[in-house]
Protein backbone atom coordinates (compact mmCIF):
# COMPACT_ATOMS: atom_id res chain seq x y z
CA UNK A 1 0.00 0.00 0.00
CA UNK A 2 1.04 3.59 -0.56
CA UNK A 3 2.12 5.67 2.44
CA UNK A 4 3.54 9.17 2.81
CA UNK A 5 6.11 10.00 5.48
CA UNK A 6 9.62 11.14 6.22
CA UNK A 7 12.89 9.94 7.75
CA UNK A 8 14.36 13.34 8.64
CA UNK A 9 12.80 16.45 10.09
CA UNK A 10 12.54 19.56 7.96
CA UNK A 11 10.53 21.38 5.32
CA UNK A 12 7.58 19.78 3.47
CA UNK A 13 10.08 18.51 0.86
CA UNK A 14 11.27 15.85 3.37
CA UNK A 15 8.18 13.80 2.51
CA UNK A 16 8.70 10.66 0.45
CA UNK A 17 6.28 8.04 -0.84
CA UNK A 18 6.76 4.35 -0.04
CA UNK A 19 5.02 1.10 -0.77
CA UNK A 20 4.81 -1.08 2.32
CA UNK A 21 2.86 -4.15 3.45
CA UNK A 22 -0.76 -3.55 4.39
CA UNK A 23 -1.07 -3.74 8.22
CA UNK A 24 -2.17 -6.98 9.85
CA UNK A 25 -4.92 -6.47 12.43
CA UNK A 26 -5.44 -8.15 15.81
CA UNK A 27 -8.77 -9.24 17.32
CA UNK A 28 -9.59 -5.73 18.61
CA UNK A 29 -8.67 -3.78 15.51
CA UNK A 30 -10.22 -2.91 12.16
CA UNK A 31 -8.47 -2.24 8.88
CA UNK A 32 -9.68 0.93 7.19
CA UNK A 33 -9.30 1.84 3.56
CA UNK A 34 -8.95 5.58 4.00
CA UNK A 35 -11.25 7.95 2.17
CA UNK A 36 -9.71 11.11 3.62
CA UNK A 37 -6.77 11.75 5.95
CA UNK A 38 -6.98 14.94 7.97
CA UNK A 39 -3.96 17.25 8.27
CA UNK A 40 -3.58 18.97 11.63
CA UNK A 41 -1.49 22.05 12.42
CA UNK A 42 0.55 19.93 14.86
CA UNK A 43 1.60 17.66 11.97
CA UNK A 44 3.70 20.51 10.56
CA UNK A 45 5.27 21.25 13.95
CA UNK A 46 6.29 17.60 14.41
CA UNK A 47 7.60 17.46 10.81
CA UNK A 48 9.76 20.51 11.47
CA UNK A 49 11.32 18.68 14.43
CA UNK A 50 10.18 21.29 16.92
CA UNK A 51 9.13 18.60 19.42
CA UNK A 52 12.25 16.46 18.98
CA UNK A 53 14.58 18.36 21.33
CA UNK A 54 17.21 18.27 18.59
CA UNK A 55 17.36 14.45 18.43
CA UNK A 56 17.34 12.95 14.91
CA UNK A 57 14.39 10.90 13.77
CA UNK A 58 14.99 7.17 14.29
CA UNK A 59 12.34 5.76 11.96
CA UNK A 60 10.21 6.44 8.90
CA UNK A 61 7.35 8.47 10.38
CA UNK A 62 3.92 8.32 8.76
CA UNK A 63 1.78 11.15 10.19
CA UNK A 64 -1.99 11.09 10.25
CA UNK A 65 -3.88 10.83 13.52
CA UNK A 66 -7.39 11.13 12.09
CA UNK A 67 -9.03 9.56 9.04
CA UNK A 68 -12.40 8.78 7.56
CA UNK A 69 -12.37 5.30 6.09
CA UNK A 70 -14.33 2.19 5.18
CA UNK A 71 -13.88 -0.96 7.24
CA UNK A 72 -12.39 -3.65 5.00
CA UNK A 73 -11.37 -6.11 7.75
CA UNK A 74 -12.86 -6.59 11.23
CA UNK A 75 -11.07 -8.12 14.22
CA UNK A 76 -12.63 -11.29 15.59
CA UNK A 77 -13.51 -9.71 18.98
CA UNK A 78 -15.43 -6.80 17.46
CA UNK A 79 -19.23 -6.86 17.45
CA UNK A 80 -20.20 -3.16 17.18
CA UNK A 81 -18.80 -2.56 13.69
CA UNK A 82 -19.08 -4.44 10.41
CA UNK A 83 -17.45 -4.65 7.00
CA UNK A 84 -18.43 -1.68 4.87
CA UNK A 85 -19.11 0.72 7.77
CA UNK A 86 -17.73 4.18 7.13
CA UNK A 87 -16.10 5.38 10.33
CA UNK A 88 -13.95 8.08 11.81
CA UNK A 89 -10.65 6.52 12.92
CA UNK A 90 -8.08 7.90 15.35
CA UNK A 91 -4.98 5.74 14.75
CA UNK A 92 -2.59 8.12 16.51
CA UNK A 93 -0.33 8.10 13.48
CA UNK A 94 -0.11 6.28 10.16
CA UNK A 95 -3.14 7.90 8.56
CA UNK A 96 -1.36 9.41 5.54
CA UNK A 97 -1.82 6.03 3.86
CA UNK A 98 -4.17 3.99 1.70
CA UNK A 99 -4.91 1.65 4.63
CA UNK A 100 -4.52 2.02 8.37
CA UNK A 101 -5.36 -0.24 11.31
CA UNK A 102 -7.23 1.24 14.27
CA UNK A 103 -8.19 -0.13 17.68
CA UNK A 104 -11.96 -0.47 18.16
CA UNK A 105 -11.87 2.06 21.03
CA UNK A 106 -10.63 4.63 18.52
CA UNK A 107 -13.30 4.29 15.84
CA UNK A 108 -16.62 6.14 15.71
CA UNK A 109 -19.56 5.83 13.35
CA UNK A 110 -19.82 8.80 11.03
CA UNK A 111 -22.41 11.26 12.42
CA UNK A 112 -25.69 10.84 10.49
CA UNK A 113 -26.00 13.12 7.47
CA UNK A 114 -22.60 14.69 8.02
CA UNK A 115 -20.82 14.94 4.63
CA UNK A 116 -17.68 12.78 4.28
CA UNK A 117 -15.30 15.74 4.03
CA UNK A 118 -16.71 17.36 7.16
CA UNK A 119 -16.63 14.09 9.11
CA UNK A 120 -13.02 13.46 8.13
CA UNK A 121 -11.81 16.45 10.10
CA UNK A 122 -14.43 16.52 12.80
CA UNK A 123 -13.36 14.40 15.75
CA UNK A 124 -9.97 15.89 16.69
CA UNK A 125 -11.19 19.47 16.64
CA UNK A 126 -14.55 18.51 18.15
CA UNK A 127 -13.15 16.54 21.08
CA UNK A 128 -10.56 19.25 21.72
CA UNK A 129 -13.28 21.91 21.79
CA UNK A 130 -15.42 19.74 24.10
CA UNK A 131 -12.70 19.24 26.74
CA UNK A 132 -11.46 22.82 26.55
CA UNK A 133 -14.93 24.09 27.42
CA UNK A 134 -16.25 21.53 29.89
CA UNK A 135 -13.32 20.03 31.78
CA UNK A 136 -10.84 22.89 31.60
CA UNK A 137 -13.09 25.95 31.17
CA UNK A 138 -15.81 24.59 33.48
CA UNK A 139 -18.39 26.57 31.53
CA UNK A 140 -21.77 27.39 33.05
CA UNK A 141 -25.01 28.58 31.48
CA UNK A 142 -25.24 32.37 31.40
CA UNK A 143 -21.49 32.97 31.45
CA UNK A 144 -19.56 34.90 28.83
CA UNK A 145 -16.95 33.08 26.79
CA UNK A 146 -14.42 34.67 24.44
CA UNK A 147 -12.99 32.35 21.79
CA UNK A 148 -9.72 33.34 20.11
CA UNK A 149 -9.35 31.58 16.77
CA UNK A 150 -13.14 31.31 16.56
CA UNK A 151 -13.13 30.74 12.80
CA UNK A 152 -10.78 27.74 13.07
CA UNK A 153 -11.50 24.04 13.33
CA UNK A 154 -11.54 24.00 17.14
CA UNK A 155 -12.94 27.50 17.59
CA UNK A 156 -15.89 27.03 15.22
CA UNK A 157 -17.08 23.96 17.14
CA UNK A 158 -16.43 25.69 20.47
CA UNK A 159 -18.87 28.42 19.37
CA UNK A 160 -21.57 25.85 18.65
CA UNK A 161 -21.07 23.99 21.95
CA UNK A 162 -21.08 27.24 23.93
CA UNK A 163 -24.31 28.36 22.25
CA UNK A 164 -25.88 24.99 23.02
CA UNK A 165 -24.92 25.39 26.66
CA UNK A 166 -26.47 28.87 26.87
CA UNK A 167 -23.35 31.06 27.07
CA UNK A 168 -22.86 34.53 25.61
CA UNK A 169 -20.23 34.03 22.91
CA UNK A 170 -17.62 36.56 21.79
CA UNK A 171 -15.73 35.38 18.69
CA UNK A 172 -12.27 36.69 17.82
CA UNK A 173 -11.01 36.02 14.29
CA UNK A 174 -10.01 38.00 11.21
CA UNK A 175 -12.48 40.38 9.59
CA UNK A 176 -12.95 38.11 6.56
CA UNK A 177 -14.50 35.49 8.84
CA UNK A 178 -16.83 37.81 10.74
CA UNK A 179 -20.01 36.69 8.94
CA UNK A 180 -19.01 33.03 9.29
CA UNK A 181 -18.60 33.11 13.07
CA UNK A 182 -21.77 35.16 13.57
CA UNK A 183 -23.62 32.63 11.40
CA UNK A 184 -22.32 29.84 13.68
CA UNK A 185 -24.01 31.55 16.61
CA UNK A 186 -21.54 34.02 18.10
CA UNK A 187 -23.22 37.01 19.74
CA UNK A 188 -20.37 39.42 19.15
CA UNK A 189 -17.24 39.63 16.96
CA UNK A 190 -13.81 41.25 17.26
CA UNK A 191 -10.97 41.32 14.73
CA UNK A 192 -7.63 40.20 16.22
CA UNK A 193 -5.82 42.61 13.87
CA UNK A 194 -7.52 45.63 15.45
CA UNK A 195 -6.11 46.42 18.94
CA UNK A 196 -8.98 48.79 19.72
CA UNK A 197 -11.53 46.01 19.17
CA UNK A 198 -9.58 43.68 21.46
CA UNK A 199 -9.23 46.42 24.09
CA UNK A 200 -13.03 46.65 24.14
CA UNK A 201 -13.21 43.02 25.29
CA UNK A 202 -10.93 43.44 28.33
CA UNK A 203 -12.07 41.79 31.58
CA UNK A 204 -15.41 40.65 30.14
CA UNK A 205 -15.09 36.87 29.86
CA UNK A 206 -15.59 34.22 32.53
CA UNK A 207 -13.76 31.86 30.20
CA UNK A 208 -11.30 32.56 27.36
CA UNK A 209 -10.34 29.73 25.01
CA UNK A 210 -7.23 30.48 22.97
CA UNK A 211 -7.61 28.26 19.90
CA UNK A 212 -5.65 30.54 17.59
CA UNK A 213 -3.03 29.15 15.27
CA UNK A 214 0.65 29.83 15.93
CA UNK A 215 -0.38 33.06 17.68
CA UNK A 216 1.97 34.67 20.16
CA UNK A 217 -0.59 36.85 21.85
CA UNK A 218 -1.18 34.93 25.09
CA UNK A 219 -0.68 38.03 27.25
CA UNK A 220 -3.24 39.90 25.15
CA UNK A 221 -5.64 36.99 25.61
CA UNK A 222 -5.21 36.99 29.38
CA UNK A 223 -6.33 40.63 29.44
CA UNK A 224 -9.77 39.51 28.28
CA UNK A 225 -10.50 37.30 31.34
CA UNK A 226 -12.39 38.57 34.39
CA UNK A 227 -10.87 38.18 37.83
CA UNK A 228 -11.53 34.62 38.97
CA UNK A 229 -12.06 33.42 35.40
CA UNK A 230 -10.40 30.71 33.32
CA UNK A 231 -7.90 31.17 30.50
CA UNK A 232 -7.46 27.94 28.52
CA UNK A 233 -4.69 27.87 25.98
CA UNK A 234 -4.23 25.36 23.18
CA UNK A 235 -1.19 27.26 21.95
CA UNK A 236 1.35 29.07 24.13
CA UNK A 237 1.14 29.92 27.83
CA UNK A 238 1.57 33.49 28.96
CA UNK A 239 5.09 34.11 30.30
CA UNK A 240 4.58 37.44 31.99
CA UNK A 241 3.61 37.66 35.69
CA UNK A 242 -0.03 38.43 36.14
CA UNK A 243 -1.64 41.31 37.91
CA UNK A 244 -4.94 39.52 38.33
CA UNK A 245 -6.20 36.33 39.85
CA UNK A 246 -7.25 33.94 37.10
CA UNK A 247 -6.82 30.25 36.32
CA UNK A 248 -4.36 29.78 33.48
CA UNK A 249 -4.56 26.32 31.98
CA UNK A 250 -2.29 24.89 29.33
CA UNK A 251 -4.65 22.25 28.02
CA UNK A 252 -3.34 18.69 28.19
CA UNK A 253 -5.90 15.91 28.04
CA UNK A 254 -5.51 13.06 30.52
CA UNK A 255 -6.42 9.39 30.08
CA UNK A 256 -9.95 9.89 31.43
CA UNK A 257 -10.72 12.45 28.75
CA UNK A 258 -11.57 9.85 26.16
CA UNK A 259 -12.61 10.56 22.61
CA UNK A 260 -15.74 8.47 23.24
CA UNK A 261 -17.17 10.68 25.99
CA UNK A 262 -16.72 13.79 23.86
CA UNK A 263 -17.94 12.13 20.65
CA UNK A 264 -21.11 10.91 22.40
CA UNK A 265 -21.90 14.53 23.35
CA UNK A 266 -21.04 15.86 19.88
CA UNK A 267 -23.10 13.25 18.05
CA UNK A 268 -26.09 14.03 20.30
CA UNK A 269 -25.63 17.73 19.63
CA UNK A 270 -25.33 17.09 15.89
CA UNK A 271 -28.65 15.20 15.92
CA UNK A 272 -30.34 18.09 17.72
CA UNK A 273 -28.75 20.87 15.69
CA UNK A 274 -26.40 19.88 12.84
CA UNK A 275 -22.84 20.92 13.67
CA UNK A 276 -21.09 22.90 10.98
CA UNK A 277 -17.46 21.94 10.50
CA UNK A 278 -14.88 24.36 9.13
CA UNK A 279 -14.92 24.25 5.29
CA UNK A 280 -12.43 21.86 3.75
CA UNK A 281 -10.04 21.81 0.84
CA UNK A 282 -8.78 18.57 -0.64
CA UNK A 283 -5.38 17.50 -1.97
CA UNK A 284 -4.63 14.05 -3.42
CA UNK A 285 -3.01 11.39 -1.23
CA UNK A 286 0.20 11.64 -3.26
CA UNK A 287 3.71 12.96 -2.73
CA UNK A 288 2.94 16.24 -4.49
CA UNK A 289 -0.37 16.46 -2.67
CA UNK A 290 1.12 16.16 0.82
CA UNK A 291 3.95 18.60 0.06
CA UNK A 292 1.47 21.15 -1.28
CA UNK A 293 -0.90 20.57 1.64
CA UNK A 294 1.77 21.13 4.32
CA UNK A 295 3.16 24.14 2.46
CA UNK A 296 -0.30 25.71 2.26
CA UNK A 297 -1.06 25.01 5.92
CA UNK A 298 2.19 26.61 7.04
CA UNK A 299 1.58 29.69 4.90
CA UNK A 300 -1.36 30.36 7.24
CA UNK A 301 -3.47 32.13 4.63
CA UNK A 302 -6.07 29.45 3.94
CA UNK A 303 -9.08 29.46 6.29
CA UNK A 304 -9.99 25.87 5.44
CA UNK A 305 -9.42 22.43 6.90
CA UNK A 306 -6.98 20.49 4.70
CA UNK A 307 -7.58 16.84 3.78
CA UNK A 308 -5.75 14.24 1.69
CA UNK A 309 -8.09 12.19 -0.52
CA UNK A 310 -7.31 8.55 -1.25
CA UNK A 311 -7.98 8.19 -4.98
CA UNK A 312 -8.70 4.43 -4.53
CA UNK A 313 -12.28 5.37 -3.56
Ligand X SMILES: NC(=O)c1ccc[n+]([C@@H]2O[C@H](COP(=O)([O-])OP(=O)(O)OC[C@H]3O[C@@H](n4cnc5c(N)ncnc54)[C@H](OP(=O)(O)O)[C@@H]3O)[C@@H](O)[C@H]2O)c1
- Contacting positions for ligand X (CB under 6 A): 40-42, 124-125, 128, 148-155, 173-174, 177, 192, 211-213, 215, 217, 234-235, 278, 303
* Cβ closest to ligand X, residue 280 vs residue 310: 280
* Cβ closest to ligand X, residue 148 vs residue 162: 148
Min CB(234)–ligand X separation in Å: 4
Backbone conformation region of residue 79, classed left if phi is above 0, alpha if psi is from -120 to 50, else beta: alpha
* Cβ closest to ligand X, residue 140 vs residue 176: 176
* Cβ closest to ligand X, residue 130 vs residue 192: 192
Can you tell me the distance from the alpha carbon of 284 to that of 292, in angstroms, rounded to the nearest whole number?
10
Can you tell me the distance from the alpha carbon of 246 to that of 273, in angstroms, rounded to the nearest whole number?
33
Would you call 140 helix, strand, or coil by DSSP? coil
* Cβ closest to ligand X, residue 111 vs residue 152: 152
How does DSSP assign 37-65, residue by residue?
EEE-HHHHHHHHTTTTTTPPP-S-B---S
Min CB(163)–ligand X separation in Å: 17
Min CB(182)–ligand X separation in Å: 13
Min CB(22)–ligand X separation in Å: 27
As a whole number of Å, the end-to-end CA separation of the chain is 14
Can you tell me the distance from the alpha carbon of 76 to that of 26, in angstroms, rounded to the nearest whole number?
8
**Side-chain half-sphere of 146: how many Cα atoms within 13 Å?**
30
Min CB(121)–ligand X separation in Å: 8
* Cβ closest to ligand X, residue 150 vs residue 307: 150
Min CB(74)–ligand X separation in Å: 27
Residue number of the CB atom closest to ligand X: 152
* Cβ closest to ligand X, residue 25 vs residue 275: 275
Residue 27 host element (H or E)? none
Min CB(217)–ligand X separation in Å: 5
Strands (E), the chain: 2-5, 16-19, 29-39, 67-74, 86-89, 99-103, 107-109, 144-148, 168-173, 188-191, 205-210, 225-233, 247-250, 280-284, 305-309
Amino acid sequence: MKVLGYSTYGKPSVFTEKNIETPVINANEVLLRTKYSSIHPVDTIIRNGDFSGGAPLQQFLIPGSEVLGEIVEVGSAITDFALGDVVIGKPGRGGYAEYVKVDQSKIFKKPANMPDEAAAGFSAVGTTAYYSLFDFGQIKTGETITILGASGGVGSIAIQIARNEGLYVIAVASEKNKDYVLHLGADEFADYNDPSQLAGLANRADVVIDASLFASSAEAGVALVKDGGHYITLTSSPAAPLDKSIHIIDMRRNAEMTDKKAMDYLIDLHEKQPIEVKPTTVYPLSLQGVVDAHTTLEAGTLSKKILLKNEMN
